[in-house]
Structure 1
C-alpha cells in the first residue's frame, strides 16, 4: 500500500482486500488457542468473545491502514489487544462476580500489554477460575512484542497508558453492584470534568468517551510509520479523545437499548431527557469529531472513520425491531450526509453476506 485511502470506495476496497483477511487469520489463531483453555468457564467466555464480537476486531483494524506497509503488524497488535478487551468484558459481564478488586486485577492485563517493561501479573488472582493455559499472557506478550519493536514507542507511551487507564476504570465502575454503578461513575466524572474540552458534557457521555480503544489503535498504527513525528502523538490523542471515541460508544449503546432494557444493563443512552436531546448531542459529537480530526494528519481518512462509525452501527439489524431507535437512526443518517449513507449501505450488504455464509465460511473466504 502506497497511500492512505481518502475516499469511501478506496477505503472499503482496502478493507475487504487487505484488512479483513488479515483480521480473520489472526482470529483463527486465537480461536485455536482459546479452544485449548483447560478451565471450562474461561474457555467458554474466550470463545464467545471471539465468536460474538468479531466485528470489534474488524472495525478496529481499519485503523491499521494508516501504517501503510506495516498494516499486518498493526493488525496483529489491534486484534490481540481487542481480543483481550472483549475477553475481559465477557468475564466481567457474564460472571457472577461483582468484585471491583477482581475487575481491577483482570484489567491489569490491558495495562501490561501496553508496557514494554515490567513483570506480568496474576490477572486471575481474585477469582476461582484461573487455568487458561497461558491464553491471556500470550495475548499480552503479543502486544508487547509489537510495541517493543517501535522506535517511536516512548513518544506515544504516555497517551496509550492514559487512554488505557480511562478504559480500565470504566470497566471496573460499570460492572460492580448495580446500586453502586452510577454513583461511582458520577464521582469519577467529577474528578476529570475540568480536563475536558466540553463544559456541557455529562457523566454518561464521559463514560462513553472512555470506553473505546480507537485512540490506542490509531496511535500504534501511526507509530509504525517511517515518517512518524513526535508531535503527532498529542494531536492523535486529542483527535480521538473525547469525541470520536465518545461517538463510537454512544452508537454502540444506541443500538443496544432494547436488549439492555430486557437484561437490566447499564446503558448511557437511557440518561438523556428524551430522544430529541440524544439526537442533539449525537450531532454535537459528530460536529466536534470533525473539528478535531481536521488537525490530524490525513484528516480525510479520519473523517471517513467518523462517517463509517455512523453507517456501520446504524445499519445494524438490532435497530429494525426498535421503532423509536429506527426513526432516530434514519434521521441521523439523513443529517450525516452521503458518505454516511454509503457506509450504511455497505454495512447492510456485509451483514447480508454474513447471513448467506456462516461465520466459519466467511472467515475461510477471507483467509487464503
Structure 2
C-alpha cells in the first residue's frame, strides 16, 4: 500500500494502523519500566513514557513508509524514541551536571544503531545504576530490527551522523548553566562551513530531532539503498525539517523552560517578529528540501502535521501571547494544517 498523500487518508491510517501498533509497544516498555529496581531510574522511565508518549505516536507515522514492514519499523521507532525521552528526563532532572555522565548515557543511542555492538553500563558515572536491563533491552530491540533491514548498509552512516548531532546537543545543553551557550557556540563553529546560513541556536534545534533517523529506517526496510539515495534522504530531513520540528517543540515549552531555567532556543531571537520570520523561512526551506524525496507528498503532510500537533498543545492554549503567535504559524501551513490542528486538538482532549 502506498504512503498516504491526503490529510484524511493519513489520519485514517494513523488511527487504524499506526496508533494501535505504537500503543502496543509502549505498553510493553511500560511493564518493563515498572520492574526497574532503582527508584530514580524507574520514576524517570515511567514519567518519560507517560508525558512524552506523543513523541512515539508521532514518530511511528513513519512506519507507513515501510509498507508491509510497518509493524517492524514502528517497533524500532518506539524503542529508539523511548531511549531518547528517557535519557532526556535523566539529564533534565539529574543531580549530575557531568559531561562524562551524559556522554556515557547517550552512547546507548549510537549502540542502538550499531547491530552487533554489545550494550555497556551506560550509568557508570552516576549513583543510580540498577535498571534490570531496561536501557540495554531498548538498545537490543533497535539492533534486532535494523539487522533485518536490507537497506541498512548504506543508511547506517548517515543515521549515525544524525545521532552524533543529537547526542552532542543533549550533552552540551545539560551541563552547568554558565557553560551551555559557550559549548554550543563552539560546536556550531566546527560545523558552520557545512551548513546553510543559520545561527548557532537554529543549528542546535536542527540537531535535536530523531525524524531523519526514523525516515531512514522506514526506507531501509523496503529494499537495498544506494549511497546516492541515502544522501538524498539525509538532505531531505537535515537541517530544515528537523529544525522546524524542534523549534516548534521549544516554542510550546517557553513558559515551562523559563520557570525551570532550561535552555530554550526561542529565547535567543532578538524579537518575536524575527522569530516568526525565521520559522516561516525554515518551514519554506523544509518544503523545498523534501521535494526530491520519494513519497514527497507524504513528507509534505508530515511538515504540515508537525505544525498542527505542536500548536494544539494545551500549553499553547493556556497562554494568550503564545496562542496569538501560534495562529500565525497555523496560517503558514494552509488548510491541511488547519485540518490536522482541529483533529489534534480533539484527540488530545479526548
Which of the five TM-score ranges fits, normalised by the shorter chain? over 0.9
Q: CA deviation at 1:226?
A: 3.5
CA distance in 2, matches of 1:89, 1:151: 31
Aligned partner of 2:330 in structure 1 is: 333
Report what 1:24 is aligned to: 23
Offset at residue 230 of structure 1 (A): 4.5
**How is 1:156-171 mapped onto 2 (pairs within 5 angstroms)?**
156-171=155-170
CA contact 2:63–2:218 (8 Å) conserved in 1: yes
Q: CA RMSD in A?
A: 1.0
Q: Is the 8 A contact 2:159 2:213 kept in 1?
A: yes
Per the normalisation by structure 2, the TM-score is: 0.98
Shift of 1:291: 0.3
Greater Cα offset, 214-223 or 311-320: 311-320
Cα distance in 2 for partners of 1:263, 1:151 equals 44
* Cα distance in structure 2, aligned partners of 1:120 and 1:44: 22
Task: Give a deviation string over 1:315-340, Cα, whole Å, max 9, x none.
Answer: 11101222221111111112321111
What does 1:234-273 align with in structure 2 at a 5 Å threshold? 234-273=231-270
Aligned pairs for 1:279-358 within 5 A: 279-353=276-350
Where does 1:183-262 land on structure 2 (aligned, <5 Å)?
183-196=182-195, 198-199=196-197, 201-226=198-223, 228-262=225-259
C-alpha contact (below 8 Å) 2:154/2:225 kept by paired residues? no
Q: Which runs of 4+ in 1 moved over 6 A?
A: none
Match of 2:178 in 1: 179
Q: 2:142 is matched with which residue?
A: 143
How big is each residue's C-alpha offset from its partner over 1:139-195, in whole Å with a ceiling of 9 and x where there is no partner? 000000001111221110100100000000000000000000000000000110111
Equivalent pair of 2:236/2:292 in contact (CA under 8 Å): yes
1:4 correspondence with 2:3: yes
CA distance in 1, matches of 2:49, 2:18: 17
| Deviation of 1:231 (Å) | 2.8
Q: Which piece of structure 1 moves more, 67-76 or 111-120?
A: 111-120
Partner of 1:356: none
1:231 counterpart SS class: helix
Residue number in structure 2 paired with 1:88:
87
For the 8 Å contact 2:151–2:222, the answer to whether it is kept is: no
Structure-1 separation of matches of 2:225 and 2:9? 23
**How far off is 1:98 after superposition?**
0.3
- Would you say how many aligned residue pairs link Structure 1 and Structure 2? 350
